[in-house]
Structure formats: structure tokens, C-alpha cells
Chain A
């Protein structure tokens, strides 16, 4: 059992390393220098420029956290559903519906500062939860696979939200009017300590969401029931748990996390609703984050920061001749390697039996 716990951490780490290796190989094969990738990542993480061309700039750190915030939330969304044995591939759509709700409350409701953003966040969570309830209900009631429904719901959300946003009036057909100053999560203070980055109070709901996730899953009987359904549906049913209800609740909470992400982007990073030609990939990022984070709150935090880092480093890499899509390639490779965990485990036991032949064989015998 101890060994299995270790594997839970080691396999994602190896997958991350292999993912970066693939990224570096792609860069080399296409005739660029992989050093740029790592210099950009370190600059984004710390604000320091290793190439020595420029000085310390905390703006990079601020932008890095801004990128990580929604990804941590969609990561929590996917991870929460995973814990109940559900694959929430619909975080993307739930996020868009959430941001639509936030836009609606921000533009149509009048409220004092502090209350106004709170209302927006709650509306976004409720909307995301309802959007997540649809695949949850169809799964519980008709046993329809949640994956295909969620994908279809994503496209439905994309087109519906684009239509709805334009009903608020728009000069250029790509964004709504700016929000009133009461509704925004923007912070002059956070921005100033990070040299004018877009860092904002969206940090607070993200931290609360992480704590909520940890508390619900690890500390409550409700979380225990959700996990039991995920481990063995029929077993849980036999133990008298209401499996269908738990499936619906789990998808609703997952949807609420994703909806919150939508609000954090709209109210914090931007200050207006955006009409998008295609998905931005936050839901897909969430899948990667949840898989690397092994569906634990702490793991999601770290992997969310990792993928936020990759995302925030994109413009730096692009400016030095490495197409920004390299971070998408690295991310997808990591997910693929985690899916192939059996291969990684085979590789690990091969290595451990060849290097520390004594420890390796003992370990294998035990497991």
C-alpha cells in the first residue's frame, strides 16, 4: 500500500519530466534552441532573466498567478467529478456559462462594492452548477455517458454564450461594455506590487475553493460517499447510498467550480464579457491539472501552478522564435503519459530492478 501511495506521486512526476522532454525534442527537431523554453519558464516563475538581458521584473510573477487561477479552478472541477468516477470534460462549457452569468449580474444588477462581485461569483457558480447538472442528471436518470453529453454541452455553451453576450450591446461584436467599477475583482494594490500585472482579488475565491474541496472530500461523510460511488458504484448502492443523487450532486459541484473560474476570468483578468471564436482550452487544462494533481487539493494546486506557468510563458517563448503552441504540446504529452501509466510503471520497475536490484526485486515481490 505504501508503495502505491509513492507511485501516486512518482508516476505524475515522471510523466511531467517526459512531457518536457518531448517538448524539448520537438523544439530541437524544428531547429530551435530548447534553452529558450527553460529561460522563459524561469523568468515567468521568478521574474529573473537568466540570459542577463534584462533585470528582475515582478510583473511576470503576477501574470503567472493570473494564468494559474482559472486553471486551478477547472482542475478542481475535473478532479471533483473524477473522485465520484465521473469524467467532467465539460468544464469548458460550464466556465463559459459561469462567465455569462457573471457578466449578466455585473451589468444588470446594481449593488455596492464587495457585495456586487460576491453576487457575480455566486451567480456564476449557480449557472455552472446547473450546466453541470444536465450531464449529471442524464447520467443518473438514463445512464447516458457523461463524456459525449459534456462535449456537446461545451459547443452548445460556446454558441449560446456568444449570442447572449451580444444582446448586451457591443460596439465591435467581440466584447460587452465594461463592467461598473463596483463589480470588478481588479486590485490596484496587487497590480502595483507586481509592476502593473493583471493580478487581482480572484486569488481569494481560488484559495477558498481549494480549502472547500479538501474539506468536503477528505473530512465529510458526504465526501466519503462520493468517493465510495467512485470506487465501486454497485458496492456503494449495496451499502445503502443513493448513487444517482450523489452523481448529480458531484457534477453540480464540479460545475460550480468551473463556473467560478469563468467569473474569476471575466471580473478579474478582464473587465468585460468576451465573444470567442473558439474554446480557450481552460476545461482541457483542467483535465491535465486534475490528472497530474492525482485529484487531490494539494496536487491540483501544484499542477495548476505548473500549467499556469507554461501558459504564462507563451508570449516570452513566442517572442524568441518558439511557437507558443509548444506549451500545449507539452501539456498534451503529459496527459498522454499519465494515461499510459502502466508503461511508466513498467519503465520504473525495469529501472529499479536494474539499478538497485535488491530493493527493486523486494519491492516488486511485496506488491
Chain B
């Protein structure tokens, strides 16, 4: 139990970027565009956040990581424009386009590192995002040390975003239109909805969130951006999107679950049942679990029906 409580803040740290990126994927897929590029967008976000933080630190200590995050979110959005352009305007295969963006992000970020920092990675920043302790709340037994004592504020950001995305997708007219584009775009178009514009907005929003997720990840879990900083978290986010059945609350649960399975690798030695297992087992666990989830949900059509399909206005 003590280990579990100690593990909680770490799991939240790992979980936060997964939730945020998965919410991005959710918005995009709800509009009918599959976004395999989450990983690449996170790389762009992570690189931007780290670079801005490093470069601004001498001038604006304290503020630098937050400005870094803001830039990460903008960079992610700009980068996702490419995905929107190819999959909405040019009717590209969305998976191929996303894959291209993943390769491009790996190359481009390290290229810029070499130009700006003369090495394969960004320079290390001295402080990323600071942990906070909320006075009062942190004194509550059990829950206090789990949620409010020396935790990164990013998890609360993620939580707020879950509520926001849930509200937008399920409680607003905009959300209804968005979902209709992902279920039956032709029907949506017949009701006067501009499918192209909705999909553009959704992909840009997913870029914004994935960029933020990349920034959050690098500024909380790393000391600099390297090409392995994101190490598949974007794909795990895709996994939690499936696990969470394309629903914000489900996504939250799934991401926390993946956050825990990553935290386990750090605490495995303290847990008697697991101390014998090799570290690699914990590294591959989230991926194997995702495959399991895929098989489990395969026969129920829980995902948006038109996701990944090229929009053809003439189709009925």
C-alpha cells in the first residue's frame, strides 16, 4: 500500500502526456481523420518546449518552461496543418500521411538540434516544470500524498482538458456536428455542415494537444530533448484511445492505467511478486496490453465509423 501511494504521483506524471495526446487523437478521430502522427507531433512539441526553455532560461527564469509549453502547443498545431492538408485537401491515405509525419518529425527535430545546439540533442535545461504542493489538501490522509504533495501541475491540466473535451464533444452543438462528421460525413454535409472545415479544426486541435503533450512529457520526465524522448508515447496514446473507447473518461482511465504500468518498472524492485522480472517486461507491457484491448473491442463497433475513410461528397 505504501508503495502504491508513493507510486501514484509518478504514475500521474507518466499518465499526463498520454491523456493529453489521446484527447487530441480523440478529437481528430471523432471528426473522421485517423491521426497516427501523434508521436511525431509530440516530438515537435517536446523539441520546441525544450529548446525554448533552454534559450529563455537565462532571461526569464521560472517563466521559461511555461513559455516553452505555449510554444510547443503552437508548434504542434502548425505541424498538424500538414496532416490536415494532405488528408483533407489531397485525400491522402491518413495512415501513410501520419507515418510520413512521424519520420519527418524525428529527422527534423534532430536536424534543428544540430543547427542550434551543435549536437544530436538540445542542451539540458536546469529546471523543467516545478513540482507543487497544495497546502491544506496535501494534509488529507492517503489522498493528500497521492494527489497533492510534490506533484506536477500538468496532471491537473490534463484533468481539466478531459472535462473540457468531454463538454465540447458531448454537450455542445459543435461537438454534435464534429461527431456526425466522423460517423457519416455525407449525412452531415446534407445538413449543411462543412465537413472539410470541421475536420481541419479537429486535426488542428489534435496537433495543439499533442504538441502540449510532447512539451509536458519532456519538461517533466527528461532534462533535454533527444530523439528517444517520446519513445512511443504517442502510440500508447493511440492505444488508450482504443482502450477508452473514444470517450474522454475512458481515455483518462486507460491513460492512468498505462501511466501505472510505466511507473511499475521504477518500483518493481520493491514489490516482492515482481522483483524477479526483467525491466524489459515492464517496458513492453503497455504495448502488449494495447493489442489485448484491440482484440477485446474488435467486434463491437465503438470507434467513429468513418474514421480513416477518405471523404467522398458523392458517396451515399
Contacts A159-B284, A163-B278, A281-B103 given; does A152 touch B295 at CB 8 Å: no
Q: How far is the CB of A54 from chain B (nearest CB, A)?
A: 24
CB-CB contacts of A26-51 with B at 8 A, as 1s and 0s?
10001100000000000000000000
- B30-49 contacts to A (CB < 8 Å): 36
Q: Are A278 and B231 in contact (CB under 8 A)?
A: yes
Q: Are B95 and A87 in contact (CB under 8 A)?
A: yes
CB-defined contacts of A340 to chain B, threshold 8 Å: 85-86, 90, 92, 97
CB-defined contacts of A155 to chain B, threshold 8 Å: 232, 235, 283-284, 287
In the complex, whether B101 has a CB less than 8 A from a CB of chain A is yes
In the complex, whether B132 has a CB less than 8 A from a CB of chain A is no
CB-defined contacts of B131 to chain A, threshold 8 Å: none
Q: Are A151 and B104 in contact (CB under 8 A)?
A: no
Q: Are B299 and A336 in contact (CB under 8 A)?
A: no
Q: Are B107 and A328 in contact (CB under 8 A)?
A: yes
CB-defined contacts of A325 to chain B, threshold 8 Å: 106-108, 110-111, 114
Q: Are A152 and B106 in contact (CB under 8 A)?
A: no
A332 to B83, CA, bound (A): 13
In the complex, whether B134 has a CB less than 8 A from a CB of chain A is no
In the complex, whether B280 has a CB less than 8 A from a CB of chain A is yes
A288 to B85, CA, bound (A): 20
Q: How far is the CB of B305 from chain A (nearest CB, A)?
A: 14
Contacts A152-B239, A152-B290 given; does A339 touch B295 at CB 8 Å: no
Q: How far is the CB of B116 from chain A (nearest CB, A)?
A: 9
Q: Are A152 and B107 in contact (CB under 8 A)?
A: no
A313 to B239, CA, bound (A): 36
CB-defined contacts of B106 to chain A, threshold 8 Å: 281, 325, 328
Residues of B within 8 A of A (CB-CB), count: 47
A357 to B96, CA, bound (A): 34
In the complex, whether B126 has a CB less than 8 A from a CB of chain A is no
The segment from A136-144, A204-212, A215-223 found at the interface with B is A136-144
In the complex, whether B190 has a CB less than 8 A from a CB of chain A is no
Q: Are A156 and B288 in contact (CB under 8 A)?
A: yes
Q: Are B91 and A156 in contact (CB under 8 A)?
A: no
- B242, B281, B294 — which one has the most chain A CB atoms within 10 A of its CB? B294
A339 to B94, CA, bound (A): 8
Q: Are A342 and B90 in contact (CB under 8 A)?
A: yes
In the complex, whether A99 has a CB less than 8 A from a CB of chain B is no
CB-defined contacts of A287 to chain B, threshold 8 Å: 96, 99
In the complex, whether B139 has a CB less than 8 A from a CB of chain A is no
Q: Are A159 and B103 in contact (CB under 8 A)?
A: no
In the complex, whether A113 has a CB less than 8 A from a CB of chain B is no
A323 to B104, CA, bound (A): 14
CB-defined contacts of B232 to chain A, threshold 8 Å: 155
CB-defined contacts of B239 to chain A, threshold 8 Å: 148, 152
In the complex, whether B82 has a CB less than 8 A from a CB of chain A is yes
In the complex, whether B93 has a CB less than 8 A from a CB of chain A is yes
In the complex, whether B189 has a CB less than 8 A from a CB of chain A is no
CB-defined contacts of A149 to chain B, threshold 8 Å: 291, 294
A47 to B228, CA, bound (A): 34
| Selected contact of A332 from candidates B107, B238, B278, B291, CB within 8 Å | B107
A54 to B99, CA, bound (A): 39
CB-CB contacts of B12-29 with A at 8 A, as 1s and 0s?
000000000000000000
CB-defined contacts of B290 to chain A, threshold 8 Å: 148, 152
Contacts A148-B294, A160-B280 given; does A30 touch B115 at CB 8 Å: yes
Q: Are B89 and A343 in contact (CB under 8 A)?
A: yes
Q: Are B82 and A336 in contact (CB under 8 A)?
A: yes
A147 to B36, CA, bound (A): 9
CB-defined contacts of B164 to chain A, threshold 8 Å: none
| Selected contact of B101 from candidates A160, A336, A343, CB within 8 Å | A336
Q: Are B103 and A328 in contact (CB under 8 A)?
A: yes
Q: Are A342 and B280 in contact (CB under 8 A)?
A: no
State the B residues within 8 Å of A (CB). Answer: 36, 82, 85-86, 89-93, 95-97, 99-104, 106-108, 110-112, 114-115, 227-228, 231-232, 235, 238-239, 242, 278, 280-281, 283-284, 287-288, 290-291, 294-295, 298-299
Other than the given A338-B96, A343-B89, 9 more pairs (CB < 8 A) read A142-B294, A145-B294, A147-B95, A284-B103, A325-B108, A332-B100, A333-B104, A335-B99, A339-B97
29 contacts between A and B (CB under 8 A): A30-B111, A142-B298, A143-B299, A144-B298, A147-B95, A148-B235, A148-B239, A149-B291, A152-B290, A153-B291, A155-B232, A155-B235, A155-B284, A155-B287, A158-B284, A159-B280, A159-B283, A162-B280, A287-B99, A328-B107, A328-B111, A329-B107, A332-B100, A332-B107, A333-B100, A338-B96, A339-B86, A339-B93, A343-B86
